[in-house]
């Protein structure tokens, strides 16, 4: 969209030169958050199952638009989930000496993992969660000057992320309680029935403001910090044909271009 204020478009004098000839070209972009999956590698050997809550009820699939900050700069706890369900297989725990969650809840000797061992019915789905919404505003500002009937000049100012608005991006490695969590009983992870500290921890999915290291580098990322581009260009407002240009040149400089045409 390009908007030209309908004031002082024609006329002479300093008001026309100062107040007229402006153009504004805003570009607004908004999109919903990116889907992501929360895994639970707490007791996985090779294959991480998806997260399930110990409470058995539904969990929030989106985080706060104003999440609390962490000790790391520009990093926030975007979404803190209820304590995880610890479903390391008791069968493997009794035979191998440690629980495994790769194959579901194998409880009976003779079960053929992974086909006969069920996973929790409330296990969250693939890409069930949504990251923060993103929006961005770019702005073009142009000023046109009419130098003569034939020539004009335009100054251009283009602002990328004009409002210097940073978006939040989910840190993928934090979408797993084995790598990032809040322990039961600590602030943000209230105790629930059956939850044990150190085991049934709360997954804490983090989001970083202003891009992710190694993905959105400052050298190539123009979306997460304001960039200003200035420029100018000359315009030929009334383009003449070649013959018309020669005729005008002859009339202005008869001694240098003694050219005649027949009509």
Give domain status of residue 193, yes or no: yes
Give domain status of residue 206, yes or no: yes
What is the structure's pLDDT at 43? 81
Give domain status of residue 56, yes or no: yes
Q: Tell me the pLDDT of the chain averaged across its residues.
A: 81
**Residue owning tokens 């505003």:** 137
Burial of 54 (0-12, 13-18, 19+ CB in 10 A): buried
Give domain status of residue 185, yes or no: yes
Cα(121)–Cα(192) distance, integer angstroms: 19
Give domain status of residue 205, yes or no: yes
| Count of structural domains, the chain | 1
262, pLDDT greater than 50 = no
Give domain status of residue 202, yes or no: yes
Range(s) of the domain holding residue 41: 34-85+120-132+167-214
Give domain status of residue 256, yes or no: no
Burial of 63 (0-12, 13-18, 19+ CB in 10 A): buried
Instruction: Please calculate the CA angle 254-259-263 and round it to the nearest 5 degrees.
Output: 120
50, pLDDT greater than 80 = yes
pLDDT band at 263 (very low <50, low <70, confident <90, very high): very low
97, pLDDT greater than 70 = no
Euclidean distance between the first and final Cα of the chain, in Å? 46
Give domain status of residue 24, yes or no: no
């Amino acid at each position: 969209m390009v908007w030209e204020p309908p004031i002082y478009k024609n006329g002479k004098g300093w008001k026309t030169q100062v107040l007229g000839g402006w153009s504004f070209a805003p570009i607004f972009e908004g999109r919903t958050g990116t889907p992501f999956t929360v895994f639970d590698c707490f007791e996985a050997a090779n294959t991480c199952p998806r997260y399930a809550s110990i409470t058995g009820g539904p969990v929030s699939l989106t985080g706060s638009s104003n999440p609390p900050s962490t000790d790391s700069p520009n990093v926030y706890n975007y979404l803190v989930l209820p304590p995880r369900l610890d479903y390391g297989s008791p069968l493997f725990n009794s035979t191998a000496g440690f629980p495994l969650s790769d194959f579901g809840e194998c409880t009976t000797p003779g079960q053929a993992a992974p086909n006969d061992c069920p996973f929790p019915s409330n296990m969250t789905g693939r890409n069930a969660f949504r990251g923060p919404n993103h929006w961005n505003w770019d702005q073009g500002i142009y000023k046109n000057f009419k130098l003569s009937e034939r020539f004009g000049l335009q100054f251009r100012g283009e602002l990328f992320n004009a409002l210097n608005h940073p978006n939040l991006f989910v840190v993928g490695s934090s979408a797993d309680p084995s790598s990032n969590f809040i322990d039961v009983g600590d602030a943000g992870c209230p105790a629930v029935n059956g939850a044990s500290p150190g085991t049934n921890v709360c997954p804490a999915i983090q989001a970083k403001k202003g891009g992710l290291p190694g993905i959105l580098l400052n050298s190539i990322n123009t979306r997460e910090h304001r960039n200003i581009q200035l420029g100018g260009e000359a315009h030929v407002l009334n383009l003449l044909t070649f013959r018309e240009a020669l005729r005008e040149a002859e009339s202005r400089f008869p001694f240098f271009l003694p050219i005649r045409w027949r009509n």
